[in-house]
Structure 1
Amino acid sequence: MGTFSLWHWLIVLLIVVLVFGTKKLKNMGSDLGGAVKGFKDGMRDGSTPDNAAASTATPPAGQVANQASADKATIDVEAKQKS
């Protein structure tokens, strides 16, 4: 009763395929693979050195000037009150 034999696993696999169907199992497998890949990518991105992260965090000077002029032209509609 401790371990299952090969026949037990084949019967369990057959029942799972009958319940879920092959298309649903394929979709669940691809979703699980995508989640694992996303987790690995996130862990790899999180392990970058601090000095590399700090250098990419500051935008170029030209971009800062363009962003400041864009902020002046932007109007916050919700901040305005009707007279």
Structure 2
Amino acid sequence: MNVGPFQLLIIALVILILFGRGRISEMMGDFGRGIKSFKQGMNDPDDTANTPARIENRPADASAETKATDSSKTS
């Protein structure tokens, strides 16, 4: 089943009638902005992905440890 130019014209007219000229223009603008944003995201270097995370080994809070042991003694 081949879609010829006459069928494409009918489909375009139906879409134009359903959505209207303003709505189609708005959708195409949104589509263009989405593509532009995607391209910018692909071109921008992602510094957070290449930088290893820093892990700091800090001693645990002593009061939290005593609370945990106190609650286990009462149970």
Structure 2 length-normalised TM: 0.59
Residues 1:23 and 2:3 aligned together: no
Q: Aligned residue for 2:34?
A: 35
Q: Which amino acid aligns with 1:42?
A: G
Could you tell me the percent identity over the aligned residues?
31
State the shift of 1:49 in Å. Answer: 8.3
Q: Distance in 2 between matches of 1:14 and 1:40?
A: 32
Structure 1 length-normalised TM: 0.54
Q: Distance in 2 between matches of 1:42 and 1:49?
A: 9
**Is there any run of 5+ residues in structure 1 with no aligned partner, and where?**
55-83
Q: Distance in 1 between matches of 2:34 and 2:2?
A: 30
Q: Note the alpha carbon deviations across 1:30-54, whole angstroms, 9 max, x for none.
A: 0000000000000001xx386xx87
Q: Distance in 2 between matches of 1:30 and 1:49?
A: 27
